[in-house]
C-alpha cells in the first residue's frame, strides 16, 4: 500500500494490523433498539393478542427440530471416507452451503454429532462441508481458472449447537466422471473436528443413485434416505446424517 493510499485509508478511522483490519478508531458499541416482545414488536408498543387461529398458523410455519436419539448400544464410530482433491481451507462459517438462487433440487441436511465414549451429543463441533454443484462441478476443479481466494462456492463451515445439532441448506450435488467408465455418485464431504476426539473425514451419499454400483469409495453405512417435503412455496428434500466420533 502506498503512503498516500495508507493516509486516505486511515482518514476513514480504520487501522491495519498483522492479522487484517481493526475496528475503526472512532467506533462505538452498536446501539440496541429496545426489548423485543414475543411477536417481534417493542414490548412498550400496544398490540392485540393473536387469535387461536393465528397462533396455530404460526406453529405450522415453524420448523421443528427433531429430538435427539443416543447411538445404539452396538454403535461404532462413523466410517472414514476419502478426502478427495477439492477441499479448501479457511471457508467462512454459514448455515447455507450454496450461493443464493443456486440451481438444483433443494436439500436440507440435519443431524447430531455424538461421542462414542460418552454416547452424549457434542456441542461446538466444527464441520467443514463441501460438494459439487447439481452438474457435478466443484468451484476449484478447473486448474486453469481457479476461484478467487475469498470466493467459496458450495462449501462452508458450520458448528453444532449446545445439543450437538446441526442443519444446513444446499442443493442435491450431481455425479461426475473420474475415468472413461467410472463415475463418482452424488455425495457431500465432511471434515469433523472436536477437541479430545479423532478428526473425521467422510462423505454422505444418497440411497438409490445408479452410480453407486460402480463406485469403489462408497461405504454402505454412509448412505442416507431423503424425504420429500411439499409446501405452498415449493418442494425440497430432507435427510438425516448423524455422526459418531471416536475419542483420542
Q: Is residue 80 part of a domain?
A: yes
Please tell me the pTM assigned to this model.
0.78
- What pLDDT is stored for residue 104 in this prediction? 97
- What pLDDT is stored for residue 1 in this prediction? 55
Q: Is residue 7 part of a domain?
A: no
Q: Is residue 214 part of a domain?
A: yes
Beta bridge partners of 238: 108, 227
Q: For residue range 170-217, what is the model confidence (pLDDT) as tens digits?
A: 999 999 999 888 999 999 999 999 999 999 999 999 999 999 998 999
- What pLDDT is stored for residue 99 in this prediction? 94
Q: Is residue 19 part of a domain?
A: no
Residues of the chain short of pLDDT 50, as ranges, are: 9-10, 14, 39-43, 58-62
Number of domains in the chain: 1
Helical spans, DSSP H, in the chain: 3-11, 52-61
Q: Which three cell numbers stand for residue 124?
A: 461446538
- What pLDDT is stored for residue 156 in this prediction? 97
Q: Is residue 205 part of a domain?
A: yes
- What pLDDT is stored for residue 158 in this prediction? 98
CATH number for the domain harbouring residue 106: 2.60.130.10
| Residue 217: domain span | 71-245
Amino acid at each position: 500500500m502506498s503512503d498516500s493510499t495508507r493516509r486516505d485509508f486511515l482518514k476513514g478511522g480504520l487501522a491495519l494490523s498483522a492479522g487484517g483490519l481493526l475496528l475503526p478508531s472512532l467506533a462505538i458499541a452498536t446501539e440496541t433498539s429496545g426489548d423485543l416482545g414475543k411477536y417481534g414488536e417493542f414490548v412498550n408498543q400496544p398490540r392485540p393478542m393473536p387469535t387461536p387461529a393465528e397462533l396455530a398458523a404460526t406453529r405450522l410455519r415453524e420448523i421443528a427440530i427433531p429430538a435427539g436419539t443416543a447411538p445404539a448400544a452396538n454403535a461404532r464410530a462413523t466410517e472414514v471416507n476419502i478426502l478427495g482433491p477439492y477441499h479448501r481451507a479457511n471457508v467462512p462459517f454459514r448455515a447455507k452451503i450454496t450461493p443464493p438462487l443456486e440451481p438444483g433440487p433443494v436439500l436440507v441436511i440435519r443431524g447430531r454429532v455424538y461421542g462414542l465414549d460418552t454416547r452424549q451429543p457434542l456441542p461446538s463441533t466444527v464441520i467443514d462441508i463441501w460438494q459439487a454443484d447439481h452438474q457435478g462441478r466443484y468451484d476449484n476443479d478447473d486448474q486453469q481458472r481457479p476461484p478467487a481466494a475469498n470466493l467459496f462456492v458450495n462449501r462452508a463451515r458450520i458448528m453444532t449447537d449446545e445439543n450437538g445439532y446441526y442443519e444446513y441448506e444446499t442443493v442435491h450435488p450431481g455425479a461426475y466422471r473420474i475415468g472413461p467408465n467410472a463415475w463418482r455418485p452424488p455425495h457431500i464431504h465432511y471434515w469433523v473436528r472436536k477437541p479430545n476426539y479423532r478428526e473425521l473425514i467422510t462423505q454422505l451419499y444418497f440411497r438409490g443413485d445408479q452410480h453407486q454400483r460402480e463406485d469403489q469409495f462408497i461405504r454402505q453405512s454412509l448412505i442416507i434416505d431423503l424425504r420429500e417435503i411439499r409446501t405452498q412455496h415449493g418442494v425440497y428434500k430432507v435427510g438425516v446424517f448423524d455422526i459418531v466420533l471416536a475419542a483420542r
